[in-house]
Each structure stands twice: as structure tokens, then as C-alpha cells.
Amino acid sequence: MPEPRRHVAIYPGSFDPPTLGHLDVIRRGRRLFDALIVGVGRHPGKAPLFAPDERAAMLETLIARIVGEEPDGADTQVRTFDGLTVDFARASGATVILRGVRNLSDLQNEVQQAVTNREVAGLETAFVVAGQSFAYTSSSLIKQITAMGEDLSVLAPMCPPLVIERLAQKKRERPEALRRLLDPG
């Protein structure tokens, strides 16, 4: 009898910084697939606050906690990549791209990308709809609050404590980098 086919998915994103919404998608993806690869990529239109290795390290720590709480999920790992998501998926042996959808405008953009990925690379896309508490959480909003706010504890409904600590550290060490994110000109 042939071995059953393994369903390997990638969950690509910039994760700058990782949010509770991202972790929700990872938790749910671990229940759907045999293996889940979280791909830390680069968004060509945005300057990152955290370097790819910093984002990957945060995700590895956060995912280790998830695996500790829910050990029966899919094998899950974090990898950084540069270039096209479809190339990363092929190199990872994935046949599915996992995406989280927060709202109607996300869905519109994601469906267009999903059709392109299927036509160009034969990759399917699986969508999970964000929980209500994550519907308006975005990494951009988190960086704006970090740059302009004094009390970063307001980020607790959107970010894990580890991420809030790292954001506070960035704010202390590189406040100009946060200001540039708000006004790149």
C-alpha cells in the first residue's frame, strides 16, 4: 500500500511584528495540515522594523509555546525566504498556501493572489477567517501605536508579551526607525 500523501502548507508573511492574529492562523493551520512552514518573507513595498532573523526568532519562540500547549498539531517550523512565495512553496514541497482573512478587502486581495498562484504555479490557497477579536489587527497598526504611544500595554489584545517587549526595546534603541515607518519621505 502506498504511503498516504502528506499535506504540506506554507503560511507566508512579513510578520513585522507577529500578532495574535498570526498565531491564531498558525494554531488553526496546525490542525488542518500534516506540516506547516511559516515563511518569513519581505514585503517589497514596506520598510521592516525587525530584521528577518529577529522576526523568525520571535515566531520560533511563540510557536514552541503553541506546540507545548497543543502537541498533536502538524509539524511546524519557521523559515526565512527572499523572493516569490511560489518559489518558496516549491522549494518547501508545499502544495497549499495558508492565508488568514480579516475582512472583505483582505478577501478581495487574497482571492486575486490565490487565482494567480493556482494559474502560475498550481498552488492552492486555503483561507481561514480571522476571529472577531483579530479582525482589525494589523502589523502596520501595531507599529503606529508603538511609534506614537507611550504605554505599549495597550497592545496586549493584539500582540503576545514577547512582541510587546521587543517593540519597547526597538522604541528605546531606534526611535528614528519607528518615525521613518510613519513618514518614509
Which of helix, strand or coil describes residue 139? helix
Is residue 1 domain-resident? no
The domain in which residue 14 lies consists of 8-134
CATH code for the domain in which residue 112 is found: 3.40.50.620
pTM of the model: 0.91
Q: How much is the average pLDDT of 76-80? A: 96
Is residue 89 domain-resident? yes
Q: Taking Cα atoms as reference points, which of 125, 100, 77, 81 lies closest to residue 20?
A: 100
Is residue 177 domain-resident? no
pLDDT for 152 equals 94
Q: How much is the average pLDDT of 22-28? A: 95
How much is the mean pLDDT over the chain? 90
Is residue 166 domain-resident? no
Q: What percent of the chain has pLDDT over 90?
A: 66
pLDDT for 94 equals 95
Is residue 162 domain-resident? no
Strand partners, 96: 9, 124
- In angstroms, the CA 170 to CA 16 distance is 12
pLDDT at 72 > cutoff 90: no
Is residue 179 domain-resident? no
Is residue 74 domain-resident? yes
Is residue 29 domain-resident? yes
- How many domains does the structure of the chain reveal? 1
Confidence of residue 185 (pLDDT cuts 50, 70, 90): low
pLDDT at 97 > cutoff 90: yes
